[in-house]
Structure 1
């Protein structure tokens, strides 16, 4: 019996060659759609998933009267390669299973998604690509890989190139997870629970800002549209165990899958797109879409300064900073105020 609800479809990627030259044999891309594609195929929006997220974790930004309204747009949520639904360490048969699953770049992620968009529906233009965190990285990659296809882009709480500081943060998450003896270099038969709990504790210090903890916002987080729950935790420890350890211990999240996505994130750089020879600035300059980047004011690993640096090189680029103390999780769908801010910007962008 599958540990996933079968509320999605799967596109056959076939023998999918990666940027490294490795091949995912019998590759699969899981996706979910909302709304209907217009006769002229001009209303499609691509909205990729984020680190450890699945398509249902994106649905908070879709709804009647919202920017991503299924009555207006055909919204495609592709699950990242490595997330456990699309081809991943946890679902690939030997000999490329678990620790042998090949490395996947942001470029590879977008190539798989482009294959879906063009071959499944014959779509040639995208009014919008948007996404949070690693979804933002894929948004930048879409704008660079297919500049004539992407009309508008809105990456929120993410970057076009993973900074060295961000890389080091992820080294901490990786070290905590792999230090568990039960991890067995990726060849475990049962989840490395101690490592997953430790990784969650490391992550907990980064997802939200210092001010979030100073103000004890975890005691009154409000209604999370993503989780469909009112979030309020009586103590810091209760918050750490329920929100963070609970997330990493969800049986749908596999340790090797988390490490696969983490590698994609660490080595994210649109400058590595074929034709740019590692020149990130040149890649940014190639973007034709109107792009509004939405960093969060107190994001500890995707700070606004990074996007302000990138924006100066994008011909039609702009940066707006999401205010408040939620840090990176301003983009998660858990903060009602930040959700409204993101939705308002998307409405303005789509109306332009």
Structure 2
């Protein structure tokens, strides 16, 4: 189970009932929901911040706070949990017929359609920004393609608009470590025989990819307060992803592996056309040492957008994928400055 700090436990979180909601796979639901929390004045420009893989609405990977460019003193920020992320409707908290291993496949389009319904319920006519890290960035790209007129800006940090072949293969490792647990039983495990070896195996297979090889070689984990690498692995990975419900992990993995912004009726898989359809000013910020989402892919994405739409601004860092998640002050400062520059340049042109 995910552990929260006392401050996080005290946060006000809300539940949005989706009512009748049809998924891209054709499944129809009636009792699904999104969990979300907000900070700032509802009258301020609204920024949507979807969670990442393993993320929570009680935290923020993207830098949000009074000390950051995205400040609740200027913006109304909505943190929303993904389907499958253990907070919003997920295999672990859904009743029959979609409970556990029966949970249907979830697309990025499903995530965005549900979030749009939430925004409508909050009376938001147009978002100022959709900002996300990792799978949150994948959702931000999907927003830009699926609802191109609904936001002014998109900020995609260490994420991509489609799952690359290399990314797909990486995810096969942790996924199959989990499936190999004899307690998994096709997703129909019981509370008294959980696939705990499988979820730990998933986390350990995932752990080597979150930071760069240089980060590990320089033992940066020691500066984070861990006594050695085994202490770091046990606390961060075994105690993090390793405690997540197995079906939830697989639900998110499937969404990630099938992600492609062009897989909606308007484009029918035409990726280049989908990228040209983006209208929001889009800031693409991969990290140069990210092993999940390569920086070159971000550069290609921007090149496919219409002139003046995309800005490619890579984070040069040894912190790998985590460079975009407030992992260190240098990279967080770079993020804040890049976002401030994006907003200022748009105001100048206006």
TM-score by length of 1: 0.91
Alignment of 1:1-352 (within 5 A): 5=9, 7-38=12-43, 43-58=45-60, 61-118=63-120, 120-190=121-191, 191-220=194-223, 231-250=224-243, 253-315=244-306, 316-351=309-344, 352=346
- Give how far 1:318 is off: 1.4
CA distance in 2, matches of 1:305, 1:52: 25
Q: 1:233 to 1:350 in 2, by over 3 A?
A: same
- Give how far 1:260 is off: 0.5
CA distance in 1, matches of 2:29, 2:176: 26
For residues 253-298 of structure 1, the C-alpha deviation after alignment (integer angstroms, 9 at most, x for no partner) is 2111111111111100001022101011110000011111000010
What residue ranges of structure 2 are gaps of 5+ in the alignment? none
4+ aligned runs moved over 6 Å, structure 1:
none
CA distance in 2, matches of 1:291, 1:95: 39
Assess if the C-alpha contact under 8 Å between 1:136 and 1:156 holds in 2.
yes
Assess if the C-alpha contact under 8 Å between 1:61 and 1:339 holds in 2.
yes
CA distance in 1, matches of 2:239, 2:321: 19
How many residues are matched? Answer: 335
Question: Alignment partner of 2:50: what SS?
Answer: coil
Assess if the C-alpha contact under 8 Å between 2:62 and 2:324 holds in 1.
no
What residue ranges of structure 1 are gaps of 5+ in the alignment? 221-230
CA distance in 2, matches of 1:162, 1:284: 15
- Give how far 1:106 is off: 0.5
Comparing 101-110 with 342-351, greater Cα deviation is found at 342-351
CA distance in 1, matches of 2:102, 2:189: 13
CA distance in 1, matches of 2:62, 2:159: 18
CA distance in 1, matches of 2:320, 2:107: 26
CA distance in 2, matches of 1:173, 1:23: 30
For residues 228-268 of structure 1, the C-alpha deviation after alignment (integer angstroms, 9 at most, x for no partner) is xxx22221111111111111233xx2111111111111100
- Give how far 1:332 is off: 2.1
Cα RMSD (Å): 1.6
TM-score by length of 2: 0.92
- Give how far 1:64 is off: 1.2
Assess if the C-alpha contact under 8 Å between 1:128 and 1:350 holds in 2.
no
Q: 1:314 to 1:60 in 2, by over 3 A?
A: closer
- Give how far 1:334 is off: 2.2
Assess if the C-alpha contact under 8 Å between 1:67 and 1:350 holds in 2.
no
Assess if the C-alpha contact under 8 Å between 1:24 and 1:102 holds in 2.
no
